């Protein structure tokens, strides 16, 4: 009988231990099993700029807990099509968030958006990825898609005020066109708009027109090869959504060899018709 009693005591001890663990899990809930994780890394296309300038590159890391490494890495040739590419393929340079001189000792809280400045090349392009890993130094982790940063070589002579209708229905999409005269290739070209005039703002820039923006033909991102312009003018068009009431003020924006923040046209105003 002694072996039977001993087995029963051992079985009861195991059951009690299991119940205790279940009770603890119930008390601590999800926090008891929460773990650091990186689920995705995305990067925002930078604005190309003049030689010797620096361009701001921002990226976002999704996940929970903390990543102990996140940075942008770049190369002078594209590796987008390479099978099994890793951050080590982008060995021409790197930058930690806010251009810190080393990784943050306590890591980076997730989810989070990070930014750093990257030197614009004197010629050619840089191919940039964002990277995050749970450990530092990194030995794996996740990469974003690749974005391209190029020097601006174009020179703008004239930014003409955009053209379009004088008015439109509430919340309607209207076509707005604009002409830039110059030569070479622009690094960046788009429209920006505000619901208040910024014409008298001292030192105004595209950042003052913060209600929206649109690339030519409403592309989702800047053209990888830039935008060719001619002395007699190159026209671009995009659709702009009007507000529900009031006025919208639209300007065209270009970045040429002079770099950021770029050049602005005069304002085109469009009124919203009464319903």
pLDDT at 150: 77
Other residues' Cβ atoms within 10 Å of the Cβ of residue 92: 13
Phi and psi at 173, nearest 5°, equal: -95, 125
Bridge partners of residue 209, in order along the sequence: none
Q: Is the pTM of this model over 0.85?
A: no
Give the whole-angstrom CA distance, residue 69 versus residue 131. 8
Give the whole-angstrom CA distance, residue 270 versus residue 163. 10
pLDDT at 226: 81
Other residues' Cβ atoms within 10 Å of the Cβ of residue 273: 13
pLDDT at 13: 53
Give the whole-angstrom CA distance, residue 78 versus residue 125. 9
pLDDT at 54: 83
Give the whole-angstrom CA distance, residue 273 versus residue 275. 6
Domains belonging to the chain, first-starting first, are 37-150 (2.60.40.10), 155-272 (2.60.40)
pLDDT at 149: 85
pLDDT at 11: 53
Per-residue confidence in pLDDT tens, the chain, 275 aa: 555 455 455 455 544 444 444 444 444 444 434 588 999 999 998 866 655 578 889 999 999 999 999 999 999 999 999 999 999 999 999 999 999 999 999 999 999 999 999 998 877 789 999 999 998 887 789 999 999 887 777 899 999 999 999 999 999 999 999 999 999 888 889 999 999 999 999 999 999 999 999 999 999 888 877 888 999 998 999 999 999 999 999 999 998 888 778 899 999 999 999 87
């Amino acid at each position: 009988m002694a072996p039977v009693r001993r087995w029963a005591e051992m079985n009861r001890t195991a059951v009690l231990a299991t119940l205790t663990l279940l009770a603890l899990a119930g008390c601590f809930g999800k926090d008891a099993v929460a773990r650091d994780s990186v689920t995705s890394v995305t990067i925002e296309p930078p604005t190309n700029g003049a030689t010797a300038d620096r361009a701001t590159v921002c990226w976002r890391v999704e996940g929970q807990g903390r990543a102990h490494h996140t940075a942008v890495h770049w190369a002078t040739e594209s590796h987008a099509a390479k099978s099994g590419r890793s951050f080590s393929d982008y060995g021409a340079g790197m930058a930690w968030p806010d251009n810190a001189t080393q990784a943050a000792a306590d890591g980076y809280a997730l989810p989070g958006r990070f930014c750093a400045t990257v030197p614009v090349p004197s010629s050619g392009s840089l191919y940039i990825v964002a990277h995050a890993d749970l450990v530092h130094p990194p030995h794996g982790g996740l990469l974003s898609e690749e974005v391209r940063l190029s020097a601006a070589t174009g020179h703008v002579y004239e930014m003409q005020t955009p053209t379009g209708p004088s008015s439109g229905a509430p919340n309607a999409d209207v076509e707005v066109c604009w002409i830039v005269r110059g030569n070479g290739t622009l690094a960046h070209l788009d429209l920006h708009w505000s619901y208040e005039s910024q014409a008298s703002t001292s030192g105004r820039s595209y950042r003052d027109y913060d209600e929206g923006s649109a690339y030519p033909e409403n592309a989702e991102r800047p053209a990888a090869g830039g935008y060719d312009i001619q002395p007699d003018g190159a026209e671009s068009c995009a659709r702009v959504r009007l507000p529900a009431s009031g006025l919208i003020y639209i300007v065209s924006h270009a970045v040429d060899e002079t770099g950021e923040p770029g050049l602005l046209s005069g304002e085109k105003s469009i009124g919203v018709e009464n319903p």
